[in-house]
Structure 1
Amino acid sequence: MSDDAGDAGATDDPEPAENISGGAAGGGEATVFEPGEADSRAEAVVDRLGELYWQKAYGGRDGFECLVRTVLSQNTSDVASQPAHDSLMDRYGPGGDVGGDDLAESLADADQQRLAETISSAGLYNQKSERIIALAERICEEYGGADGFDEFVKTGDPDEVRSTLLDMNGVGPKTADCVLLFSGGRGGVFPVDTHVHRIARRMGLAPADADHEGVREALEREVPAEKCGFGHTAMIQFGREYCKARKPACLDDPEACPLVDLCEQVGVDPESGEVVDPAEAVAKG
């Protein structure tokens, strides 16, 4: 998971070296796809990312905890949101300082100021604490607690689950898709954060002027369902290491980027060193 810029603005917080959802300790299960002929350039990009980083299948996280964790990650980085999540679970989770057996019930009864202090490292802690308590109250009212919500996320119709999540205050498309992916283990879900939004348009995998939903639709249409999950997490990692917003690796040397042969470099001019948003580049003609 990363900053939820699909739901709000970008962050200037530093990011850790590795996406917390990747690598051996990042959750999910390692899986291997036999090499074959990709049916689209987007699939070829995801295949290359899988070779470069990891091929994983996701799912199994508790639905409500996943929702809370993703809310905490909005407008900030893993560096800031992970400690906030850990502190929240230490205090309100099962076996925590004030937690009962059900995380949703514990958070529904939480004092807002105390919760805000607990998650302060994530930034926007007053807004996020109010949002988390409201979500917990709704989960308890409609699903009887975290377990009932978890069952809904994992077994409900994916379109209904996504629609329900989007109806919740403070839950945008990327948050909803992360819950579907990391908790529900749903195939064909490609969450779009700032990295994915930038890279897909820069590479020409989605229209240059596409919004986050437009990018999601383009990727989910062109990438096989079973590859969307690790495509999301590996593309975030690629954005951190190579395809950065202001200085992509190809500016220094085309050979420095392992995906340069699959990239249209929309908005990137290696000769002049100019880097602009892909939509701006296309508008200029």
Structure 2
Amino acid sequence: MTEEPHTNISGGQSDGDRSPAFESDAPTTPAAAVVDRLGELYWQKTYGGQDAFECLIRTILSQNTSDAASQPAHDALVDQYGDSGLATALANADRSKLAETISSAGLQNQKSNTIIRIATRVCEEYGDAAAFDSFVQDGAYDDVRDALLDMKGVGPKTADCVLLFASGHDGVFPVDTHVHRVYRRLGIAPPNSDHDAVRAVLEETVPAAKCGFGHTASIQFGREYCTARKPACLDDPEACPLGDVCDRVGVDPDTGEVVDPADASIDME
């Protein structure tokens, strides 16, 4: 069994927080079967316990970029502003200096504005990062998610990552670009589904305790096998560990053509 690489996967901690023994009951849905199959490839674990404010900032830095680019930006931010009193420090940060600090993550002007605005709001509404963390950890799921989504610059994926990695909520399956592509290509979600529609399908059909692991494992699978331009099945259908359960929507091994599943569905109409 291949261990998950010692890198942050969409905000996950390098070593994870807990290594559970997931139930081995026979899967009852195609999505559950896929997550179980991924469990044979990657380290199964659950999440939770991260500082909520830092998790939020880390996830904002990761938007529209890779871990390789966002991790140095996060490290530079912590070095510059400290990890104690971070919300206050960022609320009072000079925008141009912050943008320079996080430049490796890309979109630094937009992200620095978002970070300062959110840090200011956290300080004004909760008092400090510790109080915000308590709200995220102890608040009702719907209340926390609504509060996060009410922050300008925080979308569903960012909110769900905070709920997963900070709160450890079961049943949360954040959908990034890899998850969005993989489950439409597999045929589990309709090909024209947006990110929220894919999330709804997965959270309804994957056991709640496995959603967090399913998220990180699906990202890794999308990076290693089911890439956007050259999925493993193009060279050899048997090279993909999910080849026997995949509809290959938008992928034609005979011609080598790869299109977004939504575009494939248009062609079939």
Q: Identify the TM-score tier after normalising by the shorter chain.
A: over 0.9
Task: State the match for 2:140 in structure 1.
Answer: 157
Q: Is the 8 A contact 2:184 2:191 kept in 1?
A: yes
**Amino acid across the alignment from 1:78:** D
> 1:19: how far off?
5.2
Task: State the match for 2:169 in structure 1.
Answer: 186
Q: Is the 8 A contact 2:16 2:46 kept in 1?
A: no
Instruction: State how far apart, in whole Å, the 1-side matches of 2:63 and 2:8 are.
Output: 15
> 1:274: how far off?
1.3
Task: State the match for 1:86 in structure 2.
Answer: 75
Residue correspondence of structure 1 range 218-257 to structure 2 within 5 A: 218-257=201-240
Residue correspondence of structure 1 range 15-34 to structure 2 within 5 A: 20-21=8-9, 25-34=14-23
Q: Is the 8 A contact 2:69 2:104 kept in 1?
A: yes
Instruction: State how far apart, in whole Å, the 2-side matches of 1:236 and 1:26 are.
Output: 16
> 1:70: how far off?
0.5
Instruction: State how far apart, in whole Å, the 1-side matches of 2:15 and 2:259 are.
Output: 32
Q: Is the 8 A contact 2:191 2:249 kept in 1?
A: yes
Instruction: State how far apart, in whole Å, the 1-side matches of 2:265 and 2:14 are.
Output: 40
Instruction: State how far apart, in whole Å, the 2-side matches of 1:28 and 1:215 are.
Output: 26
1:46 maps onto 2:35 in alignment = yes
- After TM superposition, the structure 1 stretch with the greater mean CA deviation from structure 2, 59-68 or 269-278, is 269-278
Residue correspondence of structure 1 range 1-285 to structure 2 within 5 A: 20-21=8-9, 25-94=14-83, 101-285=84-268
Q: Number of matched residues?
A: 263
TM-score by length of 2: 0.94
> 1:102: how far off?
1.6
Q: Give the root-mean-square deviation of aligned CA atoms.
A: 1.5
Instruction: State how far apart, in whole Å, the 1-side matches of 2:227 and 2:214 are.
Output: 17
Instruction: State how far apart, in whole Å, the 2-side matches of 1:76 and 1:184 are.
Output: 24
Task: State the match for 1:7 in structure 2.
Answer: none
Task: State the match for 1:98 in structure 2.
Answer: none
> 1:276: how far off?
1.1
**Amino acid across the alignment from 1:75:** N
Instruction: State how far apart, in whole Å, the 1-side matches of 2:223 and 2:75 are.
Output: 23
> 1:103: how far off?
1.1
> 1:34: how far off?
3.9
Closer/same/farther in 2, CA of residues 24 and 189 from structure 1, 3 Å limit? closer
Instruction: State how far apart, in whole Å, the 2-side matches of 1:277 and 1:110 are.
Output: 41
Instruction: State how far apart, in whole Å, the 1-side matches of 2:127 and 2:91 are.
Output: 12
> 1:18: how far off?
6.4
**Amino acid across the alignment from 1:147:** A
Q: Is the 8 A contact 1:18 1:237 kept in 2?
A: no
Instruction: State how far apart, in whole Å, the 2-side matches of 1:164 and 1:28 are.
Output: 25
Instruction: State how far apart, in whole Å, the 2-side matches of 1:72 and 1:280 are.
Output: 30
- After TM superposition, the structure 1 stretch with the greater mean CA deviation from structure 2, 25-34 or 165-174, is 25-34
**Amino acid across the alignment from 2:70:** S
Point out where structure 1 has 5 or more consecutive residues left out of the alignment. Answer: 1-16, 95-100
Could you tell me the percent identity over the aligned residues? 66
Instruction: State how far apart, in whole Å, the 2-side matches of 1:19 and 1:228 are.
Output: 19
TM-score by length of 1: 0.89
3-state SS, counterpart of residue 53 of structure 1: coil
> 1:139: how far off?
0.1
